[in-house]
Amino acid sequence: MTGSKYLRYLNPLTLFDTKRTRDIFHVNPTVIPERVEASEIKIKVYDYSATEFLETQLSDVKECFMYRDTNRISWINVDGIRKADVEAVCNHFGIHYLIVEDIMSVSQRPKMDEMDNVLFCLLNMLYFNEQTGAVETEQISIVLGKGFVLSFQEDAGRDVFNPIRDKLKLNGSKLRVSGADYLCYAMLDMIVDNYYIVMEKLGDRIEQLEERIIRGSNTRSLAVINSLRKELIVLKRNVSPVRELINGFIRSENELLEERTTKYFKDVYDHILQANDLAENYRDMMMNLQDLYLSNVNLKTNEVMKVMAIVTCLLAPATVIGGIFGMNFDRIPYLHHQYGFFIAVGLMLIVPVWMLVVFKRRGWF
């Protein structure tokens, strides 16, 4: 842990990261957020058939126009979102302007649409930041057309599709001999499978937190509980709607989807159901951890109160005896006795010791 990371604990308010709360919940669907356009874009085309495979890096969006009417399957991946480039690609491939608006949107809810003989889906890829412990999202838009798949990503530095790229390079692989709908399935499957990696990371954090709370609770434990609950909200918000998205592909009767591909989408549907159930389990675990934290705090408070009550009870006899012999009366027994002081002090010691023995026998401490 770096020094700057320690400094944040000097201010208790920073433990609860209210900025992260604003980022998660500050969503207003009536206000169209402005997307910051990418400074540069990267365009890669994977053009393939059962016997041929071509991987091409393009420098201009117009260079991908030639892949619309080939006899092969073309996957055009655009890293970096710029309005002019998105509109140029979509206009050439005959994609409706409403889909263009969805591609350009920010913090959009995962969805699936059928429009003008293309299938469009929008969802988020999830990543886990080991340094901050936050679940990071990257919006991806996928357009399935006849013989082509268009994908638009925000971040050119990362995605989850490397296994798909490796399989495309293999002759005779399932991807190479199947249609564009199978490629769309493979992309959705990789995104959903990556959800489990993120959830495993969160699960490890939850287990570590549980052990920490059992060993001893403090304010930092409560802060970690609060932080993990926020990340689970991000996870749940992105995972849950994907179930409807995949179900849209299963129920669709569009000619772009072959009947044999439906069973693969059903497999993804099962995975997203399990991911959704796991997210619910994690949320329940966080509620249990919060209850465990509060129970430990109450237990510590009770222990402190018990010790203070015992000390008060042990001092009570000395207070009573001292109060009696300190009264301003002329005649008090043993007031002028030569051993009166020692008798009073002895009683002040003997009575508390006897009380300790009684308390111990009754199991009060």
DSSP state of 256: T
> What's the sign of the alpha-carbon dihedral 248, 250, 252, 256?
positive
Q: What is the mean pLDDT of residues 279-297?
A: 88
Asked if residue 11 has pLDDT above 90, the reply is no
CA distance 326 to 228: 60
Identify the three-state secondary structure at position 43: strand
pLDDT tens figures, 42-95: 999 999 999 899 999 998 888 898 888 788 999 999 998 989 999 999 999 989
Asked if residue 319 has pLDDT above 70, the reply is yes
> What's the sign of the alpha-carbon dihedral 250, 195, 160, 80?
positive
Tokens of 193: 């499978």
Asked if residue 177 has pLDDT above 70, the reply is yes
How buried is 182 (Cβ within 10 angstroms: 0-12 exposed, 13-18 middle, 19+ buried)?
A: buried
Q: How confident is the model at residue 2 (pLDDT cuts 50, 70, 90)?
A: very low
Q: Are 104 and 83 in contact (CB under 8 A)?
A: yes
> What's the sign of the alpha-carbon dihedral 333, 336, 339, 344?
positive
Asked if residue 127 has pLDDT above 70, the reply is yes
The pLDDT of residue 5 = 45
Percent of the chain's residues with pLDDT above 70:
91
Torsion of CA 204, 206, 210, 213, to 10 degrees: 120
The pLDDT of residue 334 = 73
Asked if residue 294 has pLDDT above 50, the reply is yes
Amino acid making up residue 183? L
Q: Which region, left, alpha or beta, applies to residue 334 given φ > 0 means left and ψ of -120 to 50 means alpha?
A: left
CA distance 112 to 247: 9
Asked if residue 9 has pLDDT above 50, the reply is no
CB atoms < 10 A from the CB of 210, how many?
16
Q: Which region, left, alpha or beta, applies to residue 72 given φ > 0 means left and ψ of -120 to 50 means alpha?
A: beta
Residue by residue, DSSP assigns 169-235 as TSTT-HHHHS-HHHHHHHHHHHHHHHHHHHHHHHHHHHHHHHHHHHH---HHHHHHHHHHHHHHHHH
Answer with the residue of higher pLDDT: 269 or 323.
Answer: 269
Asked if residue 275 has pLDDT above 90, the reply is yes
β-strand pairing of 73-79 with 148-153: parallel
CB atoms < 10 A from the CB of 113, how many?
16
Which of 25-34, 136-145, 253-262, 282-291 shows the lowest per-residue confidence on average (mean pLDDT)? 25-34
Q: How confident is the model at residue 6 (pLDDT cuts 50, 70, 90)?
A: very low
Backbone φ and ψ of 217, nearest 5°: -95, 145
Identify the three-state secondary structure at position 246: helix
> What value does the CA radius of gyration of the chain take, rounded to a whole number of Å?
34
The pLDDT of residue 336 = 74
Domains and CATH numbers, the chain: 3-296 (3.30.460.20), 304-361 (no CATH)
Q: What is the mean pLDDT of residues 5-17?
A: 46
Tokens of 110: 């995962």
**Average pLDDT over all residues of the chain:** 86
**In Å, how far are 164, 202, 308 from 361, measured between CA atoms?**
72, 47, 19
Q: Are 117 and 127 in contact (CB under 8 A)?
A: no
**In Å, how far are 10, 13, 131, 223 from 4, measured between CA atoms?**
10, 16, 12, 17
